[in-house]
Chains A and B, each alone.
Chain A
């Protein structure tokens, strides 16, 4: 690692130093940072980094962490109704892993100088986003399988390249997350396969779930490249390695043969193999719906956020108790309050 270590703040404005000197130092730092990124070196928490790089990472990692936490809700919705004990165990393990992924990601974000509490406050206030996909409801058991196959599949397609992201803590979190995520994706696929090969009613349930989750899954890759405000800069910084449309295409190419193996159809009349491109062509995405959901008008936006806020508010007295207990028993303040 040759990037400049600049203490914990990494900002300009050191008192008593002339503006010109600051500017020269800044330029030198920037040159070292740019060279490190160009050489595919990892940027670490104590390295100097441009403020915009830091802010962009905080935004992306926080949104990623929030998605894990909000993403627990649509699946947890079926824990108490899972149709066999084996499926129930798999689902609980999955939701538990999502909480764990949230924890890794908040830790990664904290290395950038923010805190989990601060990020959660922003989530609760609606000032930071989470993945639009979790604003869709889980209406049947098959939705749990469809989420595993399609939603986790799309997430993995997005996240595998992030294992090579220029920011070290994020890249390392992604390695761990992707391992567990791939496992869940296979389990989701297997759950759908059992339904597809099951009774007529089960097969219909699986098809209906895929019909409802296919397009929202494609929307998980974000807006088309010509409308994506962050892509160019994120790629220059090697936070992102591929554009939204590239990843979306990759996902479609993987998913189509999987759907055939499942014996299920995808709800797109324009979907067909294009020999010339070596890719599947697919129909237009309803971007009006995408922006609408992103703005808060999806089927479950209010519900997801209010459930999360409620859990946080209901838990306040528990967190206060833990803090008060810790304070009493670490001797910081001797006097007992209870």
Chain B
């Protein structure tokens, strides 16, 4: 079993699920309480399958430290306002759909999971795209917020296409398909495709190597505190 790949994909799903879970009770409309929780649950389900392929899901989620997590920096970014959350979701679900689309067609160890996950992700992507359109082409305020969010998260998107050990994928093809898809949605939403760099020299492939952004440590502190306070307990 390619453990490194299972951890990379599992950590992405786990961490983004956690971030979306932070929205519970604070969404802008009740329908979004349902939708964001729904996406969080789908991702948590994916994370549990993937982490279980690599070991014990709870040990891996609760007892690793920051430097051992293999998620991309994009998914650990704080929720920010609703536009930030949507931009993060747009970038990630577009990537994840391409990724699992490829994995589902192969006969590798992730094919079964990927076949189920692509259906969930199609919904996540649809949700993110529709909100990108509403916010981008809504009011002047929502347009500005959505543009700001797309710009701010752009620098974390290059990492999505760094090779992952154990995943035999055409990363270049995925990246160009991703750019086409995101460009089309932003255009339709009257937004400008960000022009900044998509990775920093300081951070090439960083999350996958266990180099994270500062907010991630706090996120883990909250997530792991109770589990770590009761070593060996079952829940």
Contact = CB atoms under 8 A, between A and B. Distances in A.
User: Are A and B part of the same complex?
Assistant: yes
A218 to B, nearest CB: 26
A55 to B, nearest CB: 24
Contact of A85 (B47, B139, B230, B234): B47
Given A89-B44, A320-B139, A321-B138, A72 B25 contact: yes
Contact of A103 (B18, B30, B40): B30
B28 A314 contact: yes
B138 A324 contact: yes
B134 A96 contact: no
A283 B36 CA distance: 43
Interface stretch (A13-21, A198-206, A256-264, A288-296): A198-206
Contacts of B234: 84, 194, 198
Contacts of A316: 28
Interface in B178-217: 190
A92 B235 contact: no
Contacts of A318: 28-29, 32, 82, 135, 142
B98 to A, nearest CB: 26
A319 B225 contact: no
A88 B37 contact: no
A87 interface: yes
Contacts of B40: 92
A96 B223 contact: no
B145 interface: yes
A319 B135 CA distance: 9
Contact of A84 (B14, B37, B235): B235
Interface string B45-89: 101100100000110011000000000000000000110000000
A93 interface: yes
Contacts of A179: none
Interface in A91-126: 92-93, 95-96, 99-100, 102-103, 106
Contact of A88 (B21, B51, B233): B21
Nearest to A197: B234
B27 interface: yes
Given A83-B227, A198-B233, A321-B135, A92 B25 contact: no
A83 B226 contact: yes
A319 B32 CA distance: 11
B99 to A, nearest CB: 22
Contacts, number: 153
Given A72-B33, A80-B223, A83-B226, A88 B44 contact: yes
Interface in B1-37: 14, 18, 21-22, 24-34, 37
B44 A307 contact: no
Contacts of A52: none
Contacts of B26: 307, 310-311, 314
B235 to A, nearest CB: 4
B145 to A, nearest CB: 7
B137 A99 contact: no
Interface of A: 69, 72-73, 76, 79-89, 92-93, 95-96, 99-100, 102-103, 106, 141, 191, 194-195, 198-199, 201-202, 307, 310-311, 314-326, 328-329, 336-338
* 4 residue pairs, one from A and one from B, having the closest CB atoms: A315-B28, A321-B138, A321-B142, A96-B37
Given A80-B21, A85-B14, 11 more contacts: A80-B223, A83-B227, A84-B234, A88-B44, A89-B44, A89-B45, A201-B230, A311-B28, A314-B28, A325-B137, A336-B137
Interface of B: 14, 18, 21-22, 24-34, 37-38, 40-41, 44-45, 47-48, 51, 57-58, 61-62, 81-82, 133-143, 145, 190, 222-223, 225-227, 230, 232-235
